[in-house]
Amino acid sequence: MKEELATRYEPSQFEKRIYAFWEEGGYFTPVVDKERPKFSIVIPPPNVTGRLHIGHALVNTLQDIIVRWKRMSGFNTLWLPGTDHAGIATQMVVEKQLEKEGISRFDLGREKFVERVWQWKEQHATEIKDQLTRLGASADWSRERFTLDEGLSRAVRYVFVKLYDDGLIYRDLAMVNWCPRCRTAISDVEVEFKETNGKLYHINYPIEGTDRFLTVATTRPETMLGDTGVAVHPEDERYADLIGKNAILPIMNRPIPIVGDAILVDREFGTGVVKVTPAHDKNDYEAGLRNNLPQVQVIGEEGRMTDAAGADFSGIDRKEARERVVEMLREQGLLVKIDQHQHNVAVHGKCDTPIEPMISRQWFVKIEPLARPAIDAVRNGEITITPQSWEATYFNWMENIHDWTISRQLWWGHRIPAFHCTNGHTTVSMDDLTTCPQCGAEVTQETDVLDTWFSSGLWPFSTLGWQGEGSEDAPDYQVFYPTDTLITGFDILFFWVARMIMMGLRFTGKAPFSQVFLNGLVRDEQGRKMSKTIGNVIDPLDVVNEVGADALRFTLAVSASGRDIPLGKSQIQGYSAFVNKIWNASRFAMMHIDVDLKHAGPIERDNLKTVERWILSRLNAVTREVNKQLSLFRFDEASKAIYQFFWHEFCDWYIEMAKPVLLGKHGTDDDRKLAKRVLLEVLDRSLRLLHPFMPFVTEEIWLKLGGVEPSIMIAPYPITEEVLEDSEAERLANAVRAIITTVRNLRAERGYTPKDRFTLFIRGSNPRESNFFREYAYLLTELARLNEVSVEGEPPAGAHLDVVEGFSIAIVFPEKVVSAEQLEKVRRDIEKTRTELEAMQAKLGNEQFVRNAPPQIVQATQARVAELQKKLETLQQNQ
């Protein structure tokens, strides 16, 4: 080898250079060719709100592993990157920025404000790209998309218009979730419930014309100002006579009817009397419709009380209003009691502000017709979800889905393509209108924008050039749609995954992807959620700077099983040691390899010795395992398999076994040549196996091996080759390893030093085995530190006897007093062997076991018994 590796593994020395090398090579960009087998995947577009966190590092590492694996496996592979405009979230961060400057978005006005958000977007989209680059993401940046791009916006507009024309989008006055802080309606999925220790207020409502009261209980006394009725259960004897009478609403002194409503009222709960506020509670809203109760809006869009709440309250905040209402009730003697009450408060997931249910005119998607095919697609296996347990959650949600509120009273987003005229006509149109098609009056465009997830729902096809009817021949769409795999967090299963499935099926007639893998949440070592308040947040870029991208990626892969992922410094450190190991093993190999891959020629299998056959056979098995586990999204199993092989088989054993030959201490020149060739082979294949997990270090090393391909990332991914399988070589090599381990154990147990040398007697059960041990006597001598290995001789009396992997061995130790501790150890060994033997014999003595268990199990048990018997007898001779 001409080139050598640096003495120390320092990722910062080459990671950026390697990434630039890939970009220059154009390896991230697939060809647009319908004939070639393709693999495509779209990134879950990160929000342009800020920097990427460790969760992004995870989801993008997992995608890159799959993408690199598929690309090396011969697929024409596209990983399409991009970002999401993230309506509310981005608007919020920019508003906060403005706040620091002492202005609000209203001071700027819509147009100027949106300009500011675009500036923000440009800056952060660049930053996000840089971060993904540092992680090694092999995404095709030439196809980078943003949800507000012109093409994607056209697709959004087309979908909106089409759904409207099909009667699946409507505009209506309805009870919606209103966020007073963001001053917009939000959809059901954006509402989160927070368990809160609140209060339950019991209030007396006087009954008109009597001196009786009805006691109602409420958690939100301020809403009573908008009460327009009191409900009891129609069959409740306690109150039956009151139905039809009026109660007097305290403070407001307004008569409100007492109605019977079996749906709203649960007789058993509380006093069995419910105040009805149709304008500020979903259940009350419906009860109000049933009983013809008027809707009085007492809380406005900003969470302040309206004029309808009366002069005492108009304009004050809803929180303050609550205190004042309670105070007034107390003064009037109508407050019965206040109980502690634990209940769930609905808050806006983005800003934690308590939701105000409110009647408002909004745009909705009639969802049921879209949901049905989406349910079927998962049910009939067109789409699989991994881990499968999420399918139940998916069905549960889809089957109980409610219409989707898609309008947002925001400025940042896709403006709804509806045009209102002064005569009250509304027209939805692909083209911008200036006059009303119905009456010719002037029109203005709807000011609301669409829910961010409306555009994200089209992501798998809008990013590939689909823009509605007539755009289906877009080349990327033709070649890469439908995509194959979607990898994302389970937290956006409803927000995003479900919507993509619905939209994809509706508009392209195809499921947008066939496999969904939902990854877990990254947590800290103690399983806690990472949060700024706890201070346990790990910034992926810090880790990359510290230990390199490869160590971080490998740690994430090893930890990712679909469940929550505990991540801490110790884990990352452990796997950065592994990268270091790869580096140093490669360094060692390259000191001996003297011909590059291009000129190495095929391996002459007939000349291979047992140890070489063994390592190649093991490598082949690992290759099978990795390919299989990756196809199942078992990143943990796949990465652990290579880790185990590379470190504990290749480095710990094979390299050590090859050293005597490589260093010229043993064997012929041809032996050495062959050993070098095998060393190169195993290193090459291992690097290729590892590449999807550790792209940088594998490339840095592999380039120096002089392969045919210009980059490891387009070299073929190893596949299983039957000729490499060799169970006999594995059996014999395992025996050698076990014998060496046994000698090492005994050395330690008996208190000998590494310098003490022993004589080993070993016997094969046939001439072939004897020859094998004769051939590898030098290895036993070297690695077990012996002075002699005797294959023929009879061990002298007093030698330590044992049976290892079925082979009888005897070891002659130099004179040394055997301590009580050592005798104890022998005794325990015997005890352990005897216990197992007895258990096995009992099994065989059980007629039902022999009769019912599969024959191979019975045989294996018999074989084990024979082995244990032999071992027990041998061990007993040591006493």
Partner RNA sequence: GCGGAGUUAGCUCAGCGGUAGAGCAUCUCGCUUACACCGAGGGGGCCAGGGGUUCGAAUCCCUUACUCCGCACCA
* Residues in 301-340 at the binding interface with RNA, rule: CB under 7 A: none
**574 in contact with RNA (CB under 7 A):** yes
Q: How far is the CB of 598 from RNA (least distance, A)?
A: 24
- Closest to 323 measured CA to CA, from 213, 199, 204: 199
**389 in contact with RNA (CB under 7 A):** yes
Tell which positions 232-271 bind RNA, by CB under 7 A.
264-271
- Closest to 526 measured CA to CA, from 557, 569, 589: 569
Q: Identify which of residues 214 and 579 has a Cβ nearer to RNA in the complex.
A: 579
Q: How far is the CB of 744 from RNA (least distance, A)?
A: 4
Tell which positions 650-679 bind RNA, by CB under 7 A.
651-652, 655-656
**Residue 386 and residue 631 in contact, taking contact as beta carbons nearer than 8 Å:** no
**848 in contact with RNA (CB under 7 A):** yes
Residues binding RNA: what is the number (CB under 7 A)?
A: 86
**4 in contact with RNA (CB under 7 A):** no
Q: How far is the CB of 324 from RNA (least distance, A)?
A: 18
**771 in contact with RNA (CB under 7 A):** no
**833 in contact with RNA (CB under 7 A):** no
In the three-class reduction of DSSP (H, G, I as helix; E, B as strand; rest coil), residue 26 is classed as: coil
Q: How far is the CB of 39 from RNA (least distance, A)?
A: 25
Q: How far is the CB of 262 from RNA (least distance, A)?
A: 11
3-state SS of the chain: helix, strand, coil percent to 5? Answer: 50, 20, 35
Q: How far is the CB of 27 from RNA (least distance, A)?
A: 28
d(CA 404, CA 192): 16
Q: Identify which of residues 396 and 876 has a Cβ nearer to RNA in the complex.
A: 396
Tokens of 486: 């979607």
Binding residue for RNA, selected from 494, 554, 758, 776, defined by CB under 7 A? 494
In the three-class reduction of DSSP (H, G, I as helix; E, B as strand; rest coil), residue 511 is classed as: coil
Q: Identify which of residues 492 and 714 has a Cβ nearer to RNA in the complex.
A: 492
**846 in contact with RNA (CB under 7 A):** yes
Binding residue for RNA, selected from 119, 126, 292, 396, defined by CB under 7 A? 396
**570 in contact with RNA (CB under 7 A):** yes
Q: How far is the CB of 218 from RNA (least distance, A)?
A: 4
**Residue 784 and residue 745 in contact, taking contact as beta carbons nearer than 8 Å:** no
**816 in contact with RNA (CB under 7 A):** no
Q: Which stretch binds RNA (CB under 7 A): 28-36, 133-141, 557-565, 696-704?
A: 557-565
Contacts (Cβ under 8 Å, ≥6 apart) of 65: 553, 557, 630, 635, 692, 693
d(CA 49, CA 804): 62
Q: Which helix (H) or strand (E) holds 263?
A: none
Q: How far is the CB of 84 from RNA (least distance, A)?
A: 19
Tell which positions 196-215 bind RNA, by CB under 7 A.
200
- Closest to 39 measured CA to CA, from 499, 513, 441: 513
Tell which positions 462-491 bind RNA, by CB under 7 A.
none
Binding residue for RNA, selected from 9, 205, 481, 702, defined by CB under 7 A? 9
How far the first Cα of the chain sits from its last, in Å, is 55
Q: Which stretch binds RNA (CB under 7 A): 73-81, 176-184, 313-321, 575-583?
A: 575-583
Tell which positions 83-142 bind RNA, by CB under 7 A.
none
Contacts (Cβ under 8 Å, ≥6 apart) of 869: 837
d(CA 278, CA 286): 7
Q: How far is the CB of 644 from RNA (least distance, A)?
A: 7
**Residue 814 and residue 758 in contact, taking contact as beta carbons nearer than 8 Å:** yes
Distance of alpha carbon 757 from the chain centroid: 53
Binding residue for RNA, selected from 248, 328, 830, 853, defined by CB under 7 A? 853
Binding residue for RNA, selected from 215, 291, 314, 393, defined by CB under 7 A? 393
Q: How far is the CB of 826 from RNA (least distance, A)?
A: 12
Q: How far is the CB of 581 from RNA (least distance, A)?
A: 5
Q: Phi/psi class of residue 667: alpha, beta or left (left: φ > 0; alpha: ψ in -120 to 50)?
A: left
Q: Identify which of residues 160 and 575 has a Cβ nearer to RNA in the complex.
A: 575
Q: How far is the CB of 762 from RNA (least distance, A)?
A: 17
Q: Give the DSSP per-residue string, 329-364.
A: HHHTT-EEEEEEEEEEEEEETTT-PBPEEEEEEEEE
Q: How far is the CB of 837 from RNA (least distance, A)?
A: 9
**576 in contact with RNA (CB under 7 A):** yes
**379 in contact with RNA (CB under 7 A):** no
**Residue 193 and residue 241 in contact, taking contact as beta carbons nearer than 8 Å:** no
Q: Identify which of residues 366 and 587 has a Cβ nearer to RNA in the complex.
A: 587
**693 in contact with RNA (CB under 7 A):** no
d(CA 485, CA 764): 53
**344 in contact with RNA (CB under 7 A):** yes
**216 in contact with RNA (CB under 7 A):** yes
Q: Identify which of residues 50 and 806 has a Cβ nearer to RNA in the complex.
A: 806
d(CA 457, CA 497): 8
**757 in contact with RNA (CB under 7 A):** no
Neighbours of 403 (CB within 10 A): 18
Spell out where 429-500 has E strands: 443-445, 449-450, 485-489
Q: Which stretch binds RNA (CB under 7 A): 250-258, 473-481, 563-571, 727-735?
A: 563-571
**756 in contact with RNA (CB under 7 A):** no
d(CA 142, CA 94): 28
**144 in contact with RNA (CB under 7 A):** no
DSSP state of 201: E
Binding residue for RNA, selected from 29, 478, 536, 580, defined by CB under 7 A? 580
The number of residues making up the chain comes to: 879
**Residue 273 and residue 155 in contact, taking contact as beta carbons nearer than 8 Å:** no
Q: How far is the CB of 167 from RNA (least distance, A)?
A: 24
**Residue 71 and residue 78 in contact, taking contact as beta carbons nearer than 8 Å:** no
Tell which positions 178-197 bind RNA, by CB under 7 A.
188-189, 191-193
Burial zone of 778 (CB within 10 Å; 0-12 exposed, 13-18 middle, 19+ buried): middle
Q: How far is it between the farthest Cα atoms of the chain?
A: 118
- Rg (the chain; Cα; Å): 37
d(CA 448, CA 669): 80
Binding residue for RNA, selected from 219, 426, 478, 869, defined by CB under 7 A? 219
Binding residue for RNA, selected from 631, 852, 859, 876, defined by CB under 7 A? 852
Q: How far is the CB of 652 from RNA (least distance, A)?
A: 4
Sheet holding 273-276, edge to edge: 246-249, 254-260, 229-232, 273-276
Q: Identify which of residues 140 and 681 has a Cβ nearer to RNA in the complex.
A: 681
Instruction: Compute CA distances 74 → 27, 69, 712, 715, 837, whole Å.
Output: 13, 9, 13, 9, 51
Tell which positions 506-535 bind RNA, by CB under 7 A.
525-527
Tell which positions 272-301 bind RNA, by CB under 7 A.
272, 274-275, 281-283
- Whether the bond between 387 and the residue before it is cis, its omega within 30 degrees of 0, is yes
Q: Which stretch binds RNA (CB under 7 A): 47-55, 322-330, 471-479, 587-595?
A: 587-595
Binding residue for RNA, selected from 210, 253, 400, 434, defined by CB under 7 A? 400
**585 in contact with RNA (CB under 7 A):** yes
Q: Which stretch binds RNA (CB under 7 A): 428-436, 699-707, 806-814, 844-852?
A: 844-852
Q: x/- string (CB under 7 A) for RNA, residues 607-646?
A: -----------------------------xx--x---x--
Tell which positions 697-726 bind RNA, by CB under 7 A.
none
